[in-house]
């Protein structure tokens, strides 16, 4: 019975992901190329750095457009070296609320090796591998976090955390 509930929950999450917006941002273009955090970074950068980049990109994007990115949306970030990966937007309020999605890293033609197709099933946790990269054997897990927003009370969000051995 527990497995049935898990499968139903997974299918529900996947159907939600299918409705989410996907925006592509090229970090070589203005204004993203002015963000100091993006200089020299790529799909092989440290996870903490990439989480910071994702948050800064979403914050910058949302400041420039009326079509704001929010929970459930995805951003495909193309780094300055041409490599790319998808990020999940879980919160606009938390710096850790925009995270790389395991299995979506695509190297540039000049970096070679690794890479893999987008697998939305990894959003709910599980093993996400990218052959030949630092993300091989990484596990994506979800956590529920709360943010105190004053008089409005707590706002809860689910974030995806990438844990690598």
Give the pLDDT confidence of 116-131 residue by residue, as tens digits.
Answer: 443 444 444 333 434 4
User: Which H/E stretch holds residue 161?
Assistant: strand 154-163
CA 110 to chain centre: 23
| Number of independent structural domains in the chain | 1
Q: How far apart are alpha carbons 148 and 128 in whole angstroms?
A: 32
Exposure on the CB side of residue 43, measured as CA atoms within 13 A: 33
**Which has the higher per-residue pLDDT, 25 or 12?**
25
Give the pLDDT confidence of 19-73 residue by residue, as tens digits.
Answer: 556 899 999 999 999 998 999 999 999 989 999 999 999 999 999 888 888 888 9
Q: How far apart are alpha carbons 35 and 53 in whole angstroms?
A: 9
Are 101 and 118 in contact by the 8 Å Cβ rule? The answer is yes
Q: What is the pLDDT of residue 65?
A: 84
Give the pLDDT confidence of 72-103 residue by residue, as tens digits.
Answer: 899 999 999 999 999 999 987 777 889 999 88
Provide the residue range defining the domain that includes 127.
2-163
């Amino acid at each position: 019975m527990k497995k049935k509930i898990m499968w139903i929950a997974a299918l529900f999450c996947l159907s939600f992901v299918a409705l989410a917006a996907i925006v592509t941002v090229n970090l070589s273009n203005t204004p993203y190329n002015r963000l100091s955090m993006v200089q020299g970074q790529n799909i092989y950068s440290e996870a903490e750095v990439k989480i910071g980049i994702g948050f800064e990109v979403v914050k910058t994007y949302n400041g420039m457009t009326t079509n704001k990115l929010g929970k459930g949306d995805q951003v495909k970030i193309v780094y300055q070296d041409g490599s790319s990966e998808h990020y999940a937007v879980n919160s606009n309020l938390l710096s850790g609320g925009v995270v790389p999605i395991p299995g979506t890293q695509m190297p540039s033609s000049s970096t070679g090796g690794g890479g893999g197709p987008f697998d939305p099933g990894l959003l709910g946790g599980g093993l996400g591998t990218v052959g030949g990269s630092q993300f091989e054997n990484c596990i994506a897990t979800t956590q529920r976090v709360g943010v105190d927003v004053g008089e409005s009370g707590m706002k809860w969000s689910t974030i995806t955390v990438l844990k690598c051995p």
